[in-house]
A and B are shown apart, each in its own frame.
Chain A
């Protein structure tokens, strides 16, 4: 399949292959691949992004591709051009499209409209499949396996698309997942039921922030922009911070991940902790997205 729209579209062997190619890409990251000279990747970001946008651009360039970036604020979309028209135009310029858009299902729609492969870089609160691949790659690399690991997903599990995608990926690979969220910000019960049914996954939920027993603690920020009451958001964030003293209860080899940006849910002093793995995780964005781009162009 050339398009990458949702983690639901990927089976385990395909993910394993992508992770294996990611490893090869990482080993030779600073050599020139020049695999796809003359190919053009368009990166259409209708929402702000730092890591995803830059790592896709870097990945494309390391594969020898050129990049045409699209910046929403400076585009004709601000004049009222439909998404469909914008996509058709860009599809005529590029060999592959990477899209982030606030509407859920926008990447699937883009794949219908475009002749060239489309990669989802985040569609509203729905999916972020390449982030999940990065997360699985990071866990596998740090722990040597995913199956049987105790993974805690912590924070605003209601709004974070990265967490929705990741729960599916972890369940597919047989991790034991603990969902730790403040009341009202729990993971959508539909997806919990789905992974339990589909993968016979072990998933438990808790409101108590506790790292004991976890092999991996994956934290995401409270999405303050989704709250109508900023005070309520700040209060929830204050009760869900990974303070250094909390790490004292953690297993020695527990790794702490975060899709970034981290705001104040992980204070800066934790960055120096041996548990902190989120900057390595972010650096994996390039090799994993190189693997994704190569897969899309080879299949497409």
Chain B
């Protein structure tokens, strides 16, 4: 059983807490969840924010589409934001006390959206109020459940002896979640578990909310029959930032540097909260908030020079600043992991919104040097790939750009705990000389130089950002330059040979499908969910973006029709594929409004493609 849900309300006024209550409560009932959070680049300004997702008794739970089965709204603004995300059979829970309000009375609503609502109301002859729109929803077959939030919460408060000056504001999140759980058919027990999880240590607050929830859940009749179920696996509740940080720790990253930036910061914060690390004799790690991204990447590189697996986390703006230092890691041959949490650009763009616009930036860089650019597409990959990229950085002694994005960072999942036995950590032992030696840091005969560490190898050696000879000292003799260049670049071939094909490219669907959707990164779950509804369509999922897996991609795509789906404007993977292979993309579907590609988007793009469109712009807004 799947239920697509959303919980929406004014940002900073309990909507996040409500979503945690809901997700944990549903998780406690045995379900899996795949959800994501959408919010503005403010803290508590009261702009509309929501969590949209799917709960399911199977994993992977289907990715969100463009409509939901159940919408829990904390205020009338949230109702208006989502009238287009409800359809026949959907269920809306809303505050009937706000029925008389008009869109322009919600001061935090985008003026452009107010206009669109007013136009929509005019066109359809709807009264332009919350009540008018709700009536319209009822007419199209949405089940609307209006509850007078203020009145009911006041009554519960009186009955339960809760004294609080702002009852409505304090309890509306718990109240609405409880209504939602009631409608789904889950009882008080699961609401309570969600409340305890979300509100944690504050005993009195938990107790008051528990009372509110217990009363609220009885105010509605169950309309869905969600029964507690027994999950098939051990489950973890985490988001993408957390999965990434824990993957880093598993992969042996022991220095993490960062400068605060959305959506990367929580990767570093989770790492930080885990120190000291659990485990005998392996607990020391350094986390460092630098003065800027220039310093963050330099510090991480310094850490790697000293022999610690090191990473820095950032987003597009910070990554741009790191360009020169990443090139230096390539030149000086230092293993470095850069986790690039892409967001919607250009420039500052939409700091809290989704985008896949930095693929070509990550590949390009300053000058030519060996590097790996690698993307993950779901939370299990985010966790496990962090281990792989840490291994590769050290194995090939080069920078690895790990491409993640805002969609992944704010994906919340109750999902099977990844299989730890799949994790392999492969440290490269340092060279240790019995007596002090002067050694070449870059011997010509080695594709990957020996691992020399200050204070450990008993060696004197020079590392340099300048073109150098094997000793590491500046050299511009044309022959030496060519020798050194080719030696460095040979790492790319070595990596291509050693890294297994399934780590580079994966194919899903009928092996001989004539039509293939091609994608990368976090569009994966949406494409996979869409595939279930398409006949004879395959999905080629590219993880290794540089060095580009030309042969594998050609072997899957030659003689087939390739539809690229991407979260950017240019269709950057399509461009890359054209540049690196013989494949001619048949069509490109792009979405660049800052929202992730959904299952319905993929289906819609496919329909348009079948109608002959070749450049398909996706505009959905959930």
A binds B: no
| A residues adjacent to B (C-beta < 8 A) | none
